[in-house]
Chains A and B, each alone.
Chain A
Amino acid sequence: VTNTETVLKELMLQGLAGDASAHARLLGSLSGFLRAYFGRRLGSDAADAEDLVQETLLAIHLKRDTYDQRQPFSPWAYAIARYKLLDHFRRRGVRRTVPLEDAGVLLAAENAEEGAVRRDLAKLLAELPERHSALVRDVKLTGYSIDEAAQRQGVTPGAAKVSIHRSLQRLARKARQ
């Protein structure tokens, strides 16, 4: 969690300075954490969870001038996520309390099931050749754009796209076995 905090804060600071790619990566990683956080608290309402993810990302973007750079990043992001969740319940007319947790829950957003999925995914990815798995990991998990990931691996964007597509097909086949 601490490590994630460091990475996210760094991305946030770069984004605040006007670095669009860092900002995209920040929002990309956050969307994963937010999806898990809202998913756990909304239960079966997957569509609502995705709406909330988008709403929260938008709020994080629009209100990013309220982030105090001397403070850690995750409590700020967590407060926005929790506020949006409470707001969602209020609009629905549901009287629900949302416990005020340590901000770490946002980054540790991983329940037992998700943990298992992640482990399975890591196992599957390990069976791919290194360069292909690195591309999948960069684009689908870390949130790099295809162009950036291609540059990191030293291939053309077109080749990266094809590689990711094939890798995903292969993973899907393997997962079904």
Chain B
Amino acid sequence: MRTDDLIQTLAADATPVRAVTIAPRLAGVTLIVAAFWAAMLASWLGLGPATAAANGWFWMKVGYSFALALAGLVATAQLARPGGRLGAAGWIALAAIAVIAMMAMRETMSAGPRQMASLWLGQTWSICPVRIVVTAAPIFVAGLWLLRRAAPTRLALAGAGAGLFAGAAGATIYAFYCQESTAAFVLAWYTLGIAICAAIGALVGSRLLRW
């Protein structure tokens, strides 16, 4: 086909177009997934929002994962567009990690040597990252789907952004059903679960997001 003919064909198809919106849709999907997990996790893990929210440490966990989710959402929306950059998302994520790391350090300094294990490992260190990844999975699929319909030009980074958002949103949901109470635990195992999601996103993204 000659280029001029192609242009005429495309121009004939120039219907009015509305700009894509990534962030609101992704947030909407996440609320639906959260409602789904609220029903599932209550029967799976027993605990629920009412019990969890009564504790101060609950807000520490939610605040951390929510800030990372916000970073992931900004990153995904930015990187979905051609030429999109990480922008503020990287700084939001770094700030959240710095704050929780400082809290974890304070806990570690004031704890005796015998408390170290319970501080950093809690009761559930071996299952927490896995549960976060599982909770994040449906959100991750939705994020990839939205990215595929958009036009990312830095595929691995965009995939990692979607993974970061899914992991952190999953962690926010999971925080309602998690009984751990130390910042050290959150720094180690929440971050690990979220980082696994981001890494999967980067790997999968560089292949699945091609267009």
Q: Which residues of A contact B (CB under 8 A)?
A: 15-21, 23-24, 27-28, 31, 50, 53-54, 57-59, 61, 63-69, 75-80, 82-83, 87, 103, 143, 145
Contact = CB atoms under 8 A, between A and B. Distances in A.
A115 to B, nearest CB: 22
A57 B3 contact: yes
B8 interface: yes
A28 B11 CA distance: 10
Contacts of A78: 83
A16 B211 CA distance: 21
B50 interface: no
Contact of A59 (B20, B83, B211): B211
Contact of B19 (A19, A24, A31, A68): A68
A69 B18 CA distance: 10
B151 A63 contact: yes
8 contacts: A20-B12, A24-B14, A61-B10, A67-B81, A80-B82, A80-B151, A82-B153, A145-B8
A23 B14 contact: yes
Contacts, number: 85
Interface of B: 1, 3-4, 6-8, 10-20, 80-84, 150-151, 153, 210-211
Main secondary structure of the interface of B (DSSP, over half): loop
Given A18-B15, A19-B14, A27 B151 contact: no
Contacts of B17: 16, 18, 64-65
Given A24-B7, A28-B7, A80-B153, A15 B82 contact: no
A61 B82 contact: no
Contacts of A28: 4, 7
Nearest to B16: A18
B6 A66 contact: no
Nearest to A74: B83
A69 B14 contact: no
Given A24-B7, A57-B6, A82-B153, A66 B14 contact: no
B15 A63 contact: no
A79 B150 CA distance: 13
Contacts of B19: 65-69
A59 B10 contact: no
A66 B81 contact: yes
